Structures are given as C-alpha cells and as structure tokens.
Amino acid sequence: MNQLSRKYMVGLAVMSGLLLAASFPPVPTGITAFLGLVPFLFLMESMRSTWQAFRYSYMTFLIFNIFTIYWVTGYDMGKDPWLFAAGVAVILVHPLLFTIPGVLFYKVTRHLGQVVALATFPFIWTAYEWLAQLPSLSFPWLVLANSQTYDIDRIQFIQYTGALGASFWIVGINVLVYVLIVKMGLKHWDFRTPKFYLVAVALLLSVLLPASHGRYVLNQKSYHKTVNVGIIQPNIDPYEKWSSEPGARMKLLRTLLTAYEALGKRKELDLILLPETAIPFYILEQTYLPQKQLLQETVNRVGVPLLTGFPDIQYFTEDEAPAGARKLPGDSGLRYESYNSSMLVLPFSPQVQVYHKMKLTPMSERVPFIEIFPFLADALSWGVGISNWGVGQDTTVFTLPGKDYGRPIRTWAMICYETLYPEFVAQFVKRGSHFLAVITNDGWFGKTSGPYQLQRYTVLRAIENRRAIARCANNGVSCFIDPFGRVSQATELYTKTTLVGKVPLMQETTLYTRWGDWFARLCAFGTALLIITMFIYRKQKRL
C-alpha cells in the first residue's frame, strides 16, 4: 500500500468517526448519523485482509469514542487518578467491540459478495449492539439510536422495536446512501435506471414514514391521572460530600432535609426526589441511628414521601458471601458488600423500601469480572472510596399510598447508568410501574457532554415504554419527560434548584415493554444464520 492510499484510508476513518461523534448530544440534531457510516463502508470496500479491516475499524471507532465520551476521564484528574485511569481504559478498550461488525462485514463481502454484505449490514450492526449489552464489559453509551433523542417525531416507532430498531433504521439509511453514491458515481446507474428508482424510493420512505408516524402519535393525547413530583437538585460537590467526619455527615443531611422541608410545604406534592447517593453514608446501619431518626421524623412532619439515593451494606458469612465481597477488618470471619441504592421513605411507616443498583458502570463502579478475580476488590478503589459496588439482586418497584387515586401508585427509580439498558428498564415497567424516576450524580464530569448525553438518552426509555419520567440529578440536568419523550423544565448544570411537575400515570404497556428486544433478537438470529452460511460456503469452496 503506498503512502497516498494510506492517507486515503486514514481520512475515511477520521471522517466516519467525526460524523458519528457530531450526531450525539449535546449537538441538537442527529442528522450526521445517517451519513456517518458511509465513509466507513467505503473504507471496508478497500480492505485486503482481516487484520487490515480490524485496524481501520478500530481507528474509526477510536475517533468516535474520543470525541463522544472524552469526559469519562473526569474533569479534574488531580481529584481522582483512578477515575482518570478507568476513563482512559474505557476509551481505548471500547472501540475494540466496534471492530466486530466491521470485520464481519468484511468477511461477508469477501465470501458472499458485496450485495449480501450491504443487505445484511443493518442486521449485523443491530445484533452487535444487542449482544454488546450482555457481558460485564458492556457500555452501551454509543448505541446509534442514542443520536436521535432531539428528533422525537421520527423515533416514536421504538415503542414497537425498542431503541435498537432505530439503530437498524439508521444503518439502513447509511447503506442506501452508500449504494446511491457508488452506483451513480461509477455511472453504473443513471436517472433512467429502474434500480436507481427502487433505492431512491426506499430511501425516501425510510425518511418519510417514521416522521409521518411520529407526527400522528404526537398529536394523540392519552394522558390519564397525574401525580405531583418535586425534584431537589442540591448541587453538592460529589467529591467533598464523602467526608468521613461524623459532623460533616449530619450537616449534609440537615442541608438536604432543609431543602426537602421547604419544597414539601407545597401540600399537593405526592413525592419528592433526591439524587443518587444524596445521603453518602450507611444511614440504615445502627451506627447512624440518630441520622435515620432525624430523616424519618422530618418525613413524618412534612408528610410527603421521599425517594433518595444512598449507599447500603449487607453482611455475609464466608460460606454465603458472593464472589468479590470484601473482608471485614479483624477476625470476625464476615464479609460485606456495599450497594449503590435508592430508598423510599413514607410518612409514619417503619418499613423503608430499598432498591440496590443492578447495572454498574464498568471500571468506575465495579471492576469487570471481579467474581473471577476477587483480589481486585481491595486492590482497586476510587479516591472517594466508593468503587466496586456490589451488584443488586432485587427487583424492587416502589409503592406509594395513592390515597387520592383510589389505588397504590407504583414507580421505580433507575440509578444513573441503568438508563442505558432498554430491556432492563422495560422489565420494571412490566412489573407495574405507573411512572419512572431517575436519580443520578453526573457531577464527576464537569460541564462536558456527559451529563447532557445521559439526560437525553432517558428520552428513549420514556418512548419505548410510554412512561413519564422525573429525572433528579445532583448537579444537573434535572427535568421531566412525558410519555412521548418531550422534555420540560430542564435545569442548568451546577445550579442549586428545585422543580415541581405533574407526572402522568400510565397503565397501558407497549409492544416493546411486553416483548423486549424481540427485533434485536431476530437480527441476531439472522446474523447467526449468515455466519453459518458463510462458513458452509467457505468449506464447499475449498472442496
């Protein structure tokens, strides 16, 4: 390969990576996603070996990752070198997963031809995005569907297919654009060629049909009863709040409860939200009984249920302990797991409802495969001492009294990163959640793209399940999202504020809620058949 052609390859990789990155929030349009894979397809057309396809795929998606999730290293390396190192590792490792569809596309092109490869590429890509959500290393931040959260009139169909159906749609349009450019550029087709009209009509319908469906859906009004939800965005420094001084902890709790009490004076409120780990100590432990009593007494006095994030802890004997559980100091023989948790505190109720976070951020919240390498639990930890959370095993859906509604009201608060898992979220809607909440703490990442991206991705969960969402963030962005993905009252980053909004209660379930990632599974099945066909063809060709 000469120098000019190498520059050409690198240029295509960089162009594709930048176009994809430019389609993600906070850029308020996802239009470049529909062109982002076109240079990549030209690039794969030029590959001459599997190794070359792997290298240039990695280069393409490394550029994509760097410009989209640069913020995972944290905005202040000096405050936590471990967070910085973990972020760098994510940026370098994550593009390796993206090489899978690229290499497979190259293989299919080589053995079954370009027509088959192009026709099946949307299936390959969708199957990859679905499978990439399954293992411990999953980090589904850059699912292509996540680029479309500002254009909600075009993605209402994900109530049937889930977000991965939107990824299929995006890749399909990229393929159609690529085919038109190639065929017209090489003068294989002109405006009189029937195949040109076939592809052009397919492209036009791919754009118009989702938009028409979306406008129709958005004109429908199917809201039922509502609950009044208050959101407290306390804007507390996420590093400083983990102080180990008992006096500092009580001071922080009093600050939070003062904000809660002030907001709770609005007697019409049915629920108030505090963000992820708003209470940064094991308040349910006997050691913190005064703090727990103060919390319950305040909720009793205000009379409004409080849903807040906090860390929880469980103790195990050596025989009962899950892999990765830490040893208690001394010779007690006990082990423990800490959990990133949420709890619902009801007025005059001794029973606190608790949920332990089940989807944890790789590296930052839990070292992947720590079950196999438990010694890493003590070897690696954040500077703020909250790494290696345990994986929750419960499926708690919180129950509010709902005395004004004739029946109990059920909700679930996804914690931060859990927002990224469509089928996981749908399971809690299927269990009866009438609306959803999000509690999160994005303050680690400064005024970067990260907090805006996670906030916008929540739009997809609302549309998929037709559930309204109240989002409470420590430093922002807090907001309300209706069942059709429309965002209201979005706050600014790093501001102390409160919100009050009416949140619709929904009972109907969507096709996606009931069936989950059925469409992605069909794509995975089709991709598996494609791989089998390719191997059979290769074997027959060798005979």
78: Cβ contacts below 8 Å, ≥ 6 apart? none
Question: pLDDT for 29-44, tens place per residue?
Answer: 899 999 999 999 999 9
Per-residue pLDDT at 293? 95
**Phi, psi dihedral angles at 333 (to 5 degrees):** 80, 5
Mean pLDDT of the chain: 89
Least confident of 311-320, 426-435, 456-465: 311-320
The answer to whether 327 touches 359, Cβ cutoff 8 Å, is no
Q: Which of 107, 241, 292, 357 is catalytic?
A: 357
Rounded to the nearest 10 degrees, what angle do helices 38-45 and 81-112 cross at?
Answer: 60
The reported pTM is: 0.92
Q: Which of 107, 129, 365, 416 is catalytic?
A: 416
Residue 75 has pLDDT above 80, yes or no: no
Per-residue pLDDT at 2? 43
Question: pLDDT for 200-213, tens place per residue?
Answer: 999 999 999 999 99
Identify the band that residue 245 occupies on the pLDDT scale cut at 50, 70 and 90: confident
Neighbours of 246 (CB within 10 A): 13
Average pLDDT, stretch 267-294? Answer: 93
Question: How far is Cα 498 from Cα 495, in angstroms, rounded to an integer?
Answer: 10
Active site (annotated) includes residue 107: no
Question: How far is Cα 261 from Cα 173, in angstroms, rounded to an integer?
Answer: 52
Q: Which letter, b or e, does each residue of 141-163 get, where b requires 16 or more Cβ atoms within 10 Å of its Cβ?
A: bbbbbbbbbbbbbbbbbbbebbb
Question: pLDDT for 319-346, tens place per residue?
Answer: 787 777 777 777 677 888 889 999 999 9
Residue 353 has pLDDT above 50, yes or no: yes
The answer to whether 232 touches 260, Cβ cutoff 8 Å, is yes
Q: What residue ranges define each of the domains in the chain, with the CATH number in brackets?
A: 3-220+518-542 (no CATH), 226-507 (3.60.110.10)
Q: Which of 107, 129, 241, 276 is catalytic?
A: 276
Least confident of 159-168, 262-271, 421-430, 511-520: 262-271
Per-residue pLDDT at 191? 81
**Phi, psi dihedral angles at 483 (to 5 degrees):** -65, -10
Active site (annotated) includes residue 416: yes
Q: Which letter, b or e, does each residue of 302-319 get, where b requires 16 or more Cβ atoms within 10 Å of its Cβ?
A: bebbbbbbbbbebeeeee
Active site (annotated) includes residue 357: yes
Per-residue pLDDT at 1? 42
Question: How far is Cα 378 from Cα 364, in angstroms, rounded to an integer?
Answer: 14
